[in-house]
Amino acid sequence: MKVLVAKHAGFCVGVERAFKIALQEAGNNPVFMLGNLVHNKQVVDRLKSQGIISLSSLNEIAPGTTGTLLISAHGVAPEIYAEAKKLSLKIVDTTCPWVKKAQKIAADLTGRGCQVIIIGDRGHAEVKGLLGWSRGKGIVVQNISDLENLSIDQKTCLGVLAQTTQAEEHFENLTTKLKQRYAAVEIYNTICGATSKRQNAAVELAKQVELMLVIGDKMSANTNRLTELCAKTGTETHQIETLQEMNKEWLKNKALIGVTAGASTPEWVANEVLDFLRSL
């Protein structure tokens, strides 16, 4: 059995940056993170083990509490910054630069009176933040049916951007249909460059192997996207969070196995899977 690893896999620059910043802040008590700093349970658990406190809402912080708030790599709405300042918290922003770019575009478009269309996963942390930067006026388009249900005046300026972890093909399909329906459409491809490279490398590898393993958390949008794209090639594909989810039955009679990992999957988790496969 031979194991091949995708050329681009694992921690992206934005996630690695957020993780390092969080670890640097860990000694300054108390340090809070709103939601998950990145979408990976192993990373979040490691941060918690360093004393970082996970919050689902800033309301959980008692008035008068001093401390540091880590803004996640997915970014947040402007209101969160305002709330944190009211609480006199030190703000350490780990928002991915690609997400920051998308936030600025959403704010600028709204300021110009354009209708912001966000192609992304409804309910995802990044998309919620982008909606905030569009002053709550953005519309999320997740699929074709969402697009067909749009009721926007033909004269309205539309500004279209993407959740940074969307698949290029999906984004292009939806933007093409939007341009067919509306006259004034501005397209901003805000898909992260690392995301595109990771997706292309995974698909190319999936076409060469008999089994494709995608390592990453189910709450990670970019990891789920890798799984979908690899499965579309027709190659047997499985997504696992850790080695414990490995099913040895998948490996039977497989001479060539491909492995990739999501942008929020830490090296230590991926290496555990690779070490096991190589030991066989």
Active site residue 126: yes
Catalytic pick among 25, 126, 169, 272: 126
Q: Which residues contact 279 (CB under 8 A, 6 or more apart)?
A: none
Q: Which residues contact 63 (CB under 8 A, 6 or more apart)?
A: 87
* Nearest residue to 105 (alpha-carbon basis) of 20, 60, 162, 32: 162
**How far from each other are the two terminal CA atoms of the chain, in whole angstroms?**
7
User: For the chain, how long is the longest CA-to-CA vector?
Assistant: 62
User: HSE on the CB side for 60, CA within 13 Å?
Assistant: 10
Question: What is the C-alpha to C-alpha distance for residues 210 and 205, in angstroms, rounded to an integer?
Answer: 10
Question: What is the C-alpha to C-alpha distance for residues 7 and 206, in angstroms, rounded to an integer?
Answer: 12
**Helix (H) or strand (E) run with residue 212 in it:** strand 211-215
Question: What is the C-alpha to C-alpha distance for residues 132 and 169, in angstroms, rounded to an integer?
Answer: 26
- Are β-strands 139-141 and 68-71 bridged in parallel, bridged antiparallel, or unpaired? unpaired
* Nearest residue to 166 (alpha-carbon basis) of 148, 190, 133: 190
Number of H helices, E strands in the chain: 10, 12
Q: Which residues are catalytic?
A: 126
